[in-house]
A and B are shown apart, each in its own frame.
Chain A
């Protein structure tokens, strides 16, 4: 079974009520489900393998402006497909070459599929199929990747690079 991960801002997915129309918090949708070319970016991961979730955090954190906490939610690729959502392998935008192939697009979304996807993400969040990394954990993951030469320091944004340089120098 293939699992895909999507970055989320978990506090925005707090339910507002018990009515069916309130079930999917719209703040969460508008924050975390911004499509591009009618597709939503995701990354595959293997929840049964040690380190796989950290790799997702690494890929997502390495492209940010600053080191900060990071939330991700996990859904099964087959659940997307069973709702008519096409999951398409595309080259991921990451400085780590061998992670590029792990990128997926939930592609060709229309309003019906988009709503189905929002419900899937919300259900996964309600079932606690998510993980939030603290700022310190993100710093550790980035520093380790740089230390192991998995990630080039130069590929990081200025503020992230400066913080990792300082962190590595002091540890």
Chain B
């Protein structure tokens, strides 16, 4: 996960950027630097030298390539035309052994609030969820099951399940279990999300939970019947 740092950096580390007039003191730009594992510069918008000792304390072990450093540069309003970096912010991406699920939760909620999750259209939160299932599948599976089975925020849990149905996480038995729990929900949105997952995954093991499901809402019951017909084709 990204970690933000602030540290004073000497002016010789300042990258080429927009020339300041007598500057306002506001940030004038951001540069993206891609560093290799040994912290040598791989690519950037210009040239810049890096002091490993300067960066090293701010990188979490194990530092795995590539590390992206976002450098925000500022100009000192009191220093004539001489640009002086007063603050650099580093965002270092390192491979983490586990995920901060509170952070993931926040990121997904933000993505869903920014853009509605529409059937048939890709959504930025898909990549977030897919990434955590690839990197920490077991913890992700536990977290996801908890959301669907116990979270009081049903709308969020339903959206998570709809996102999950866009790829095939975990073994079939796990997928069948999460679908079973969602179908047992008293909330229509979660049951509807379960149906979407069933038709997306098309596992033979999902036919039985669907056949056993007694949907109380008319239009959703008709839809569940259609999905069952599709699966049995």
Binding site for B on A (CB under 8 A): 9-12, 14, 27, 30-31, 61, 64-71, 128, 130, 132, 134-137
Contact = CB atoms under 8 A, between A and B. Distances in A.
Interface stretch (B10-18, B62-70, B192-200): B192-200
Given A61-B120, A70-B120, A134 B199 contact: yes
Nearest to B200: A135
A61 B189 CA distance: 22
B111 interface: no
Contacts of B103: none
Question: For chain B, what secondary structure do more than half of its interface residues adopt (helix, strand, loop), or is it mixed?
Answer: helix
Contact of B118 (A9, A27, A132): A9
9 contacts: A11-B192, A30-B116, A31-B116, A66-B120, A66-B121, A68-B119, A70-B119, A134-B227, A137-B230
A30 to B, nearest CB: 7
B95 to A, nearest CB: 28
Contacts of A137: 226, 230
A12 B219 CA distance: 13
A10 B219 contact: yes
Nearest to A140: B230
B175 to A, nearest CB: 16
B189 A11 contact: yes
Interface residues of B, number: 23
Nearest to A69: B119
A19 B220 CA distance: 24
Contacts of A61: 120
A128 B217 CA distance: 12
Nearest to A63: B120
B120 A136 contact: no
Interface of B: 116, 118-122, 155, 158, 166, 188-189, 192, 196, 199-200, 218-220, 223, 226-227, 230, 233
A17 to B, nearest CB: 14
B233 to A, nearest CB: 7
Nearest to B120: A64
Given A14-B189, A136-B230, A31 B118 contact: yes
B131 to A, nearest CB: 19
A68 to B, nearest CB: 4
Contacts of B220: 11
Given A10-B219, A132-B223, A66 B233 contact: no
Given A11-B189, A11-B192, A136-B199, A64 B121 contact: yes
B121 A69 contact: no
Contacts of B120: 61, 64-68, 70
Shortest Cβ-Cβ A-B pairs, 6 listed:
A64-B120, A136-B230, A68-B120, A68-B119, A11-B192, A135-B199
A25 to B, nearest CB: 11
A130 B155 CA distance: 23
Contact of A134 (B122, B218, B226): B226
B231 to A, nearest CB: 8
